[in-house]
Amino acid sequence: MLLNPDHTPPDSLKGYSEQEALLFRTGYDVVSALRGSGHDVRILSVQNELQPIRDAIEDFKPHVVFNLLEEFHEQTGYDQNVASYLELLRMPYTGCNPRGLMLARAKDISKKLLHYHRIPTPAFAVFPIKRAIKRPVRLAYPLIVKSLSEDSSAGIAQASVVDSDEKLKERVTFIHEQIGTAALVEQFIDGRELYVSVLGNERLQVLPIWELDFGDMAESAHAIATERVKFNVNYGKRRGIVQGRAKNLPNEIRDRIDNIVKRICRTLELDGYSRIDFRLAADGTPYFLEANPNPDIAQNEVFARAAARAGIAFPELLERILALGLRRAKLIRTA
């Protein structure tokens, strides 16, 4: 199992608070469940070098690598290179293929591709570092400013939603200087935050639609998934922010989202397991926000909970993820 050092779990969570355990909760849950199912699991922390992966494979001779890496060389976009390296070693691995990782991580490219295929996406523009910050006329306020390449809501706060050129420049500059990436500026869709998990390679199973309920946030606050909302446990409890199955969605909207999700996965060549994020506007239009290949699969996170709702218990979910990685490797070798 490949993990980043900060996410490598201890043998026990005893003595750790819920907040402290967030970093390694996924690794702990996955390792515990796999070992509980009888698998022999070796954990390998990976940060900057590929050679340790090859050494561990030659020594341990695993049947499959469970890839839980979220970055390499401290760059989220480099995870595709690790998947490519595993393919060069002819080593089966779980999760998404390198091409799908690349297309999904490049948020501007993924939006352009999906817009071409007539999938609703917010209007957007990219502001590279050290370039003039000038809003295109076609972008009308309010807008939301994000990192072009970082995920996990990095750099997203209430101040990310802007309604003037002055605030736009301030927030784009913040992303450039504090996050260190180009800024993605897109139309802010005021609506419901929906997450749709997908399992499969060629045949896709769309799991029940999940929703982020923002609870009793201040009336002046925008209902957006900020870093604080996602990762501050006490704040979430205090405000009543919860995730659960989306309720009161008309069947025609559910069917439309199901169809769109499958089209997104095929267009971006996503396989293994992924999560697609949407904003559902008041008129019922589901706007694509981003695709998340290899999303968090801790037992209390969206993907595993949606799977459980579909009747797939956590150990069975991991077995399916393993089987998908092995099956893809077999097809590649046959081809």
What pLDDT band is residue 332 in, cutting at 50, 70 and 90?
low
At position 240, the amino acid (one-letter code) is G
Q: How much is the pLDDT for 68?
A: 97
Model confidence band, residue 45 (pLDDT cutoffs 50, 70, 90): very high
The first and second tokens of residue 322, run together, are 């393993």
φ, ψ of residue 48 to 5 degrees: the values are -130, -10
CATH, domain range 123-187: 3.30.1490
pLDDT over 70 (residue 278): yes
| Statement: residue 238 has pLDDT above 90 | no
pLDDT of residue 334: 55
How far is residue 171 from each of residues 102, 158, 191, 229, 247, measured CA to CA in Å? 26, 11, 22, 19, 34
**Cβ of 129: how many Cβ atoms within 10 Å?**
14
Per-residue pLDDT, averaged over 156-179, amounts to 96
- pLDDT by residue (tens digit) across 301-310? 999 999 999 9
- Residue 16's SS3 state is coil
Residue 216 confidence (pLDDT):
84
Residue 335: is its pLDDT beyond 60? no
Of all residues in the chain, the percent with pLDDT exceeding 70 is 98
pLDDT score of 229: 86
Map out the domains of the chain as residue ranges. Answer: 2-95, 123-187, 191-334
Q: Is the predicted pLDDT of residue 1 greater than 70, yes or no?
A: yes
SS3 244: strand
CATH number of 191-334: 3.30.470.20
Mean pLDDT over each residue of the chain, to the nearest integer: 94
Ranking 170-184, 220-234, 271-285, 307-321 by mean pLDDT, the lowest is 220-234
Instruction: Answer yes or no: is pLDDT of 109 > 60.
Output: yes
Topology match between the domains 123-187 and 191-334: no
Residue found by looking up tokens 């992966």 in the block: 53
Angle of helix 302-309 relative to helix 314-334, nearest 10 degrees, comes to 100
Q: Which of 14-23, 119-128, 293-302 has the lowest mean pLDDT?
A: 14-23
Residue pLDDT, tens place only, 284-298: 999 999 999 999 999
Residues 6+ apart with CB under 8 A from 151: 76, 105, 290, 292
pTM across the whole model: 0.94
